[in-house]
Amino acid sequence: MMKFEERASAMGLECNDEKGIYRYVDIHGRIMYRTIQTTLIPPANITPHETDGFVIPYLSLFTKRNGDDTHWNYCGIVSQIYKFVGNEVLNEQVRQSILRTGLPIIRENTIISYDLTRMRNEIVIQNGVNSLQYGDILPVMIVNNSYNGSKSQSIQFGLSMNYNEEVLSFAFKFGEMKQVHIDGASTTLSSDVGEYMEVFTGNILDMINASFNHTLTEDELFLTLDVVGEIGKKRREGVSKLLTELAPEVPDGATPPLPTAWKVFLAITRYSSFEPNLNAKSLLENAAESVLVIPVRMMDVLEKINKEE
């Protein structure tokens, strides 16, 4: 594979090869990669060394928020084989794939990590379903990207719904397409969007109703809460509190019934929807997905999308 600097321009980076600087700017912030090398010109009182000016096979990563003219923040290193994709480049690819199916985009919700190295963009699509019991349930495509190599570019399918004036969102791990699947494959992506829309509208209410009617065993409940607890004691307590709020009222002294799969899913999703840590959000969604009763056809499509080469 060619070195990073040989691929930089093709990856959409502005290049200053003389200084070893490669930049990218969009509405989310500014990114800069710099070639790393040992001291080029040592102080006058220090004898030069034969390794001075030696280029290290990594690049340092710096980020800066738009409007911040003070300093760049150092955010780690990436290797020479790192493949860069700008946030808005990936977002626009997904938007065009959605629009190519003839479906309008309703809204987007973008979450950027504090250091600007991670992004999650939730693109909510028209053509959902409506239920008197659950309200509007809309399909979502979640775009994930990173600049520090901590996560590959990926696209997930999911759902969005309103609950007590809160907007909740959820991404299926089963329906995740990673970089190998989406690289230069806009036609395939449009086909996958269309296939997900079809299975979403035809199966989402069946999934919710089946999950609503499935009562978890005590072992299943504690196992799920233990998974959440591995992410943090505070998160486990938060989900447990939400489960208590969702539980039906029972007479004094009576033992409350075990929750349904849907109530546990709803409690975890309510918590994860407002979780600012993107790693924790992903793990919480995995825990929420584990309790769902997913129709066979929907599972087949999600697995097919996940496995496509």
Which residue type occupies 63? T
Q: Does the pLDDT value for residue 226 go beyond 70?
A: yes
Q: Of 273, 267, 284, 297, nearest to 204 (Cα)? A: 297
Question: Rounded to the nearest 5 degrees, what angle is found at the Cα of 88, between the Cα atoms of 84 and 89?
Answer: 55
Q: Of 109, 64, 59, nearest to 84 (Cα)? A: 59
Report the chain's mean pLDDT, rounded to a whole number: 87
Task: Encode pLDDT of 96-135 as tens digits.
Answer: 989 988 989 999 999 999 999 999 999 999 888 888 778 8
Summarize the confidence of residues 65-79 as an average pLDDT: 89
- Long-range (24+ apart) CB contacts under 8 A made by 125-129 are 125/98, 125/197, 127/103, 127/197, 127/201, 128/160, 128/200, 128/201, 128/204, 129/200, 129/201, 129/204, 129/205
Q: Which two tokens stand for residue 191?
A: 């086909």
Task: Please indicate whether residue 34 or residue 51 has the higher confidence score (pLDDT).
Answer: 34
For CA atoms 170, 173, 231, 246, the dihedral sign is positive
Contact between 31 and 11 (Cβ < 8 Å)? no
Q: Which two tokens stand for residue 163?
A: 């609950």
User: The whole model's pTM is what?
Assistant: 0.88
Q: How far apart are CA 48 and CA 40, in angstroms?
A: 9
Task: Please indicate whether residue 253 or residue 25 has the higher confidence score (pLDDT).
Answer: 25
Rounded percentage of the chain residues whose pLDDT exceeds 90: 48
Task: Encode pLDDT of 246-286 as tens digits.
Answer: 666 666 666 677 889 999 999 999 999 999 999 999 999 99
Q: How far is CA 290 from CA 104, 125, 269, 294, in A?
A: 30, 24, 12, 10
Sort 76 into a burial class: Cβ within 10 Å, 0-12 / 13-18 / 19+: middle
DSSP, residue by residue, 242-302: HHHHHSPP--TTPPPPPPBHHHHHHHHHHHHTT---HHHHHHHHHHHHHH----HHHHHHH
Who's near 121: CB < 8 A, 6+ residues apart?
Answer: 87, 91, 108, 109, 110, 111, 142, 143
Q: Of 84, 185, 96, nearest to 141 (Cα)? A: 96
